[in-house]
Structure 1
Amino acid sequence: MSRRPSPWDRPTERIMLWVFGILVLGPMLILLLILVAVSWDDGDMFAMGLLLAPLGIGAIWHGVRGLAGLPPQSLHSRIRQFFRENQSPYDESVYADYQAPEPKEDHAR
């Protein structure tokens, strides 16, 4: 079964997506935040700007990382990497030799 081709498989399209994130999407969303700051009285625009401005910053961040040759990294993968590097107490190897106690018989019946 063949999978559907992704734009990330082709370097030229990947670079175009990163440049789009840096030059178009990111600044557009950040400018929306500036527009929101100017029109402070309108609560709906303010809420929308607060939601979209971090996306603009993220688009620029991921675009710069991509052009630098670094893989995209989400918050979830950063958290997993942190626990992988710091030997989380939730690591299964810590409890590998743990023996569960024998189940007790229920004499209440």
Structure 2
Amino acid sequence: MEKIGGYWKPIILFQLLSGPKRYSDLKKGIPDITEKVLIQQLKQLEAQDLLIREAKPVVPPHVTYSLTKAGMGLKPVLYAMAVWAAEDSVEHGSTFRRNMQQFPGLEEA
């Protein structure tokens, strides 16, 4: 639980369920997170072997983040958390469900 504990880690991991993303894509997908916190969380998740940071040696730098096999193993847990959040949030429930549709293979609970 410690690996995915905290407020931001599950959100970051959930964003990566749909495939590799660049830093800017993650930032756009999680607008309330600060750059400092996003960088810290990404480094921690990489150190915990839940995501891979792939940097291509080009100018400007091209860095992508993707889930490891262990990270993909969290798919049912992350999905269950998202479903719970959608059901718990009357105000934002429809937004959560709409966002869930972009993750193929995830079935409604």
**TM-score, with length taken from structure 2:** 0.28
Which structure is larger by alpha-carbon Rg, 1 or 2?
Answer: 1
**TM-score, with length taken from structure 1:** 0.28
